[in-house]
Amino acid sequence: MTQVPEYELEELRAETTFGAMGREVDKPIPLIDCSDFEARRAAITEQLWQAATEVGFFQLTHHGIDTAVIREAFAQAEAFFALAEEEKARFPLQKGLNAGWEFMSQVRPSTGTVDQKESYQITLPHMAGLWPNQAQVPEFQRQILDFEYRAWRLGMDVLSCFAERLGFPRDFFAQAHDRAQPDYQSTLRLLHYLPLPEDKDYNDGLWRASAHTDFDCLTMVFQRTGQGGLQVSPGKAPAGAEREWASVIPEDGLITCNIGDMLTRWSDDQLKSTLHRVRMPKPGEYAGSRYSMAFFCQANKTVSIQGPGGKYPPITAADFLQQRIQANYAAMK
């Protein structure tokens, strides 16, 4: 694979200016009801399109993934992160493959500080030797694989609406994210933001996840009621102006979705990849562990990305992501 210099893409250069605290505002993000998906496809497509072209973030309700299933996956994630450090260290993150466990290793260009978190990533073709066994975390592999499939299925339904609106066949993105191929690179990431002693102000340059855009097509974030911190900042701020940040209300049954850079490019910039972050708790707020799960729909490596209007030259998904990953992981443990 060709090596590209860090920060080559324009949006990466811009990202280095977004790390400041900014101003917190109250602004709800669009809520989209997905019940009777096939029967209501046209109406849902319109709502998705509007949310994705204007805000870049939206929450799904009645999306078909049972709250009980989501809670079971969270329980598995908690059990995994509760393993001793030496045990988790047997499943080290495979750099560039988004598979395995990392602890406090992700440095984002926006702040240059390490995200206060650990994560475990599942990318199907690269999991050999990276699953905890039945004795370590009973039923982990079975349940997490099942969850990965359900998240993929729903992600492909959402993307099918964008495909049709862009003038592609309905299954265009499902083909581009084919789970059966060896170059599949969609990723389920289990996240654990570390607990903090209460009543201390941590907002002095540290972040649970500092400001970034995602580099995939579509991200679906599962959050737990009461475990907040995710904030979004839609739109472009004039150079030097303070950015506005709106908090996303976490709820077990809602799935928070956002467009990533890959779909922005694939849509000739019509769909917006929006800046977001996870801030530290403020004094008096819940400061215990925060768990979340994110499913990143990333087109298979060999797929060529080009928008319907041909605004940009084609680039393979592998080359596109390579540039992003190099800029986001400074040093691996």
The footprint of ligand AKG (CB under 6 A) covers 189, 191, 209, 214, 221, 223, 230, 276, 278, 292, 294
> Closest separation between CB of residue 78 and Fe ion, Å?
21
Q: What's the CA gap between 333 and 325, in Å, rounded?
A: 16
Q: Minimal distance in Å, beta carbon 171 to ligand AKG? A: 26
Binding mask 199-238 for Fe ion (x = CB under 5 A): ---------------x------------------------
157 versus 214: smaller Cβ distance to Fe ion = 214
> Least distance to ligand AKG from the beta carbon of 160, Å?
23
Which residue's CB is nearer to ligand AKG, number 113 or number 181? 113
Residue 150 site contact among ligand AKG, Fe ion, none (CB < 5 to 8 Å, cut-off depends on kind): none
Q: Measured from the CB atom, is 132 or 229 closer to ligand AKG?
A: 229
DSSP type of residue 319: H
Q: Where are the beta strands (DSSP E) in 72-216?
A: 100-103, 117-122, 187-193, 209-212
Cβ distance to ligand AKG smaller for residue 298 or 322: 298
Pairing of strands 187-193, 290-297: antiparallel
CA distance 81 to 10: 36
Cβ atoms < 10 Å from Cβ of 233: 22
Picking from 330, 317, 331, 326, the residue whose alpha carbon sits closest to that of residue 6 is 326
Residue 292 or 322 having the CB closest to ligand AKG: 292
Minimum CB–partner distance for residue 191 and ligand AKG (Å): 5
To ligand AKG, the closest distance from the beta carbon of 220 in angstroms equals: 10
Instruction: Give the C-alpha separation, 228 to 217, whole Å.
Output: 24
Residue 297 interacts with which of Fe ion, ligand AKG, none, CB < 5 to 8 Å by class: none
Please state the closest distance from residue 11 (CB atom) to ligand AKG, in A: 15
CB of 308 to ligand AKG, least distance (A): 27
Q: Is the CB of 223 or the CB of 298 nearer to ligand AKG?
A: 223
Backbone phi and psi for residue 26, each to the nearest 5 degrees, phi listed first: -100, 110
230 binds, among Fe ion, ligand AKG, none (CB under 5 to 8 A by kind): ligand AKG
Number of residues that make up the chain? 333
Q: Cβ of residue 287: shortest distance to ligand AKG, in angstroms?
A: 16
Give the nearest distance from C-beta 108 to Fe ion in angstroms.
10
211 binds, among ligand AKG, Fe ion, none (CB under 5 to 8 A by kind): none
Catalogue the long-range contacts made by 176-181 (C-beta closer than 8 Å, 24 or more residues apart): 176/299, 176/300, 176/303, 176/317, 177/152, 177/217, 177/297, 177/298, 177/299, 177/300, 178/300, 179/124, 179/149, 179/152, 181/300
Cα-Cα-Cα-Cα dihedral sign, residues 276, 280, 281, 287: positive
**C-alpha torsion angle, residues 127, 159, 65, 194 (rounded to 10):** 60
Q: Which helix (H) or strand (E) holds 283?
A: none
Q: What would the DSSP string read from start to end of 288-317? A: S-EEEEEEEE---TTPEE--TT--S--EEH
Residues 280/22/270/175 CA torsion (nearest 10 deg): -10
Q: Which is nearer to ligand AKG, 105 or 292 (CB)?
A: 292
When the beta carbons of 292 and 323 are compared against ligand AKG, the nearer one is 292
Q: Which does 292 bind (CB under 5 to 8 A by kind): ligand AKG, Fe ion, none?
A: ligand AKG
Q: Which does 220 bind (CB under 5 to 8 A by kind): Fe ion, ligand AKG, none?
A: none
Single out the residue of 180, 192, 104, 127 nearest to residue 149, CA to CA: 180
Residue 261 binds Fe ion, judged by CB under 5 A? no
Which residues are near Fe ion by CB under 5 A? 214
